[in-house]
Structure 1
Amino acid sequence: METIYTEKHKLRDAKTELFGGKLVQPHERPSRAEYVIDRVRKVRLGPVSDPDDFGMDPIHAIHEDHFTEFLKTAAARWKAEGFEGEAIPTTWVARRMSNIRPNFIEGQLGYYALAGETSLTEGTWEAAYASAQVALTGAERIRDGARSVFSLCRPPGHHATADMYGGYCFLNNAAISAQHFLDKGAGRIAILDVDFHHGNGTQDIFYDRDDVLFVSLHGDPHETFPYHLGHARENGTGKGDGFNLNFPMPPGTPFDVWRAAMAKGLERIADYKPDVLIISLGVDTFETDPISFFKLKSDDFKTMGADIAAANLPTHFIMEGGYDVDEIGVNAVNVLQGFDAAAGA
């Protein structure tokens, strides 16, 4: 399996995250991707390639242009105002408040943020842009005939909506990939999100559409981030009614329960008959991940990959979360090796 990867992910190197009432070293940091690419090379998964540059048009097919302009300029504007720390929002558009966008950078942070842990720093836009190009290059490989590709995206993307960032996510790589397939002639795309955290951004983007089926397996939003989406009753609206499927699960969920939920999701995907399957590949379901509560073990990720391969679809893996940094490389690559072994690659 080919891996698409760029060193430009290192440009996103925030020093602070709001966590547990403190400013701490971010869970989402450059070493995450470095451990994964080191493992890809160690096991000789396949060739590693730099991304091509597809420009802004595929990004703007998903994201509002005023939002991307904000991401491009926020860190510099924050610094120009004389603020010494990294840019973190302090206000939000809360219930019963006006939804008018402020002019001042501090107000705009709260207008565009959906959570407060993620700082905006110099280099964030460049890394997010490069991450989207990694996803788009993987999509093009699938369009050119590859049966599977791994886009090692960092920063991740599945919490980003068309006009909001948060949860360490700025541009929604899976959504950008899905829309690119559709714009190039595909009829239907399925996205299976196996990250511990619900892909609220991806759900929001496609919630009223029937050309993208979104299936998410995740921690119960009553108990964990992102809290405000991801319930089982959220099935889509309008044309999208029935094309959004959530499997929230409680603390302590073991692999057999998780796997049974994925089997149901894959059954729905099989019924949908998509042209391409996109996997939002988070491995923060691991038993020792510091910000999750599922109990998957390293070998379980091989089984996960094999189960995905049984769908027998062109499959685009896009890296999302996973914050036990010492084990992220093993766990992510176990999924890919399990897939390859089952697919006979």
Structure 2
Amino acid sequence: MPLSAHPPAVPSACRDRLRVRTTWSWRSGDGGDPADLLAQVLSEHGLATGPFTDSHTPHDRSGALCGAALLVSAAAGAAMVGGSPGKPTPAPAIPDIAVVVYEHGEPTVRPPGPPGFSLGAWRPSWDRGEHAEAVRAVRAAIGRGDVYQVNLVGHTRARYTGDPGEALGRVATLPEARYAGGLAGDGWAVASSSPERLVTVSAGRVTTGPIKGTRPATQAGRAELLASVKERAEHVMIVDLERNDLAHIARPGTIEVPELFGIRRWRGLWQAESTVTAELADGVDLAAVLRAVCPGGSVTGTPKLSALDTIAALEPVGRGPSMGALGYLTAEGRLDLGLTIRTVAADGEYLHLWAGGGITWRSDPDEEVAEAAAKAAPVKALLAG
């Protein structure tokens, strides 16, 4: 399924001259350690996968090798840390890990797809009442002390006819999205307009940028977000989780939070974002980085493994390629992955969309259902044109 958009985080000088060299994919039923297998495949194709504190010279001295796009599903991320993978994905055509290795050259011209794209009605995998009841179940789990916070995500899908490429392209090229882009394979495509950084590794430093806390992009909404005790407490819990995640790969004493609860705009929403960064410890490679940050804390909860168990019990379907990672690893070893929120997936029959939010003891079920709908609405509008 062709997609006329480059992957997120591709170096700007390379965007118009990407040519596919090879591809690789992995699904949960394939077995093996997905972090190790991914790193091994990339290394075999000449890409620097660590240790990231070492200097790297690309194996391909001709300069033809550019890098690789990486797609990691939520289930693959859970497998990397021994967590519950959740329910089966509603979009099994899309692999749990997809790798596309690129070289520099003339890009392939995308052929026109079938005319007359049409998108049907969105059909959620749970109704508003079921979503609200799941919020209450999370609050009960918090009351028992099982978890402190859980991110609940719902799924919806719409049948389409014709070629979805143009609609997906609107999502994948949204200018205000830090990780706007997409990836496609045989019979599937993923388009993301994510504002959230999962992880960047560059020059021996690792950085993550959790987003947690949402309000309408009005003056009143901004003031309400800044004043919300619930949103700030939820946000700080995730920042602490990310600090703990980075501690597994950081040089002791180097973890910093240079920005806490900064307010950013994405489409019609204000969102609270922080930056957590550290120096990498010696010997840290790509597999270790993925195990430290996947799946992202802002879309799981804390403690992470207990949150994954709760998610698996309550969400009606799997998260597929959403709430995972999509980005780029350069030939020189710079890693930049966005968290696949505000992300839509296509198989041969449906477009799939996931959205949710973090649940704490203070959460109101009806408000949480409304927040998930508010997050999905701009993506639905882009798809509808």
Question: What TM-score results when the alignment is normalised by the length of structure 1?
Answer: 0.27
TM-score (norm: length of structure 2): 0.25
- Indicate the structure with greater strand content: 2
Instruction: Say which structure, 1 or 2, has more relative contact order (CA 8 Å, 6+ apart).
Output: 2
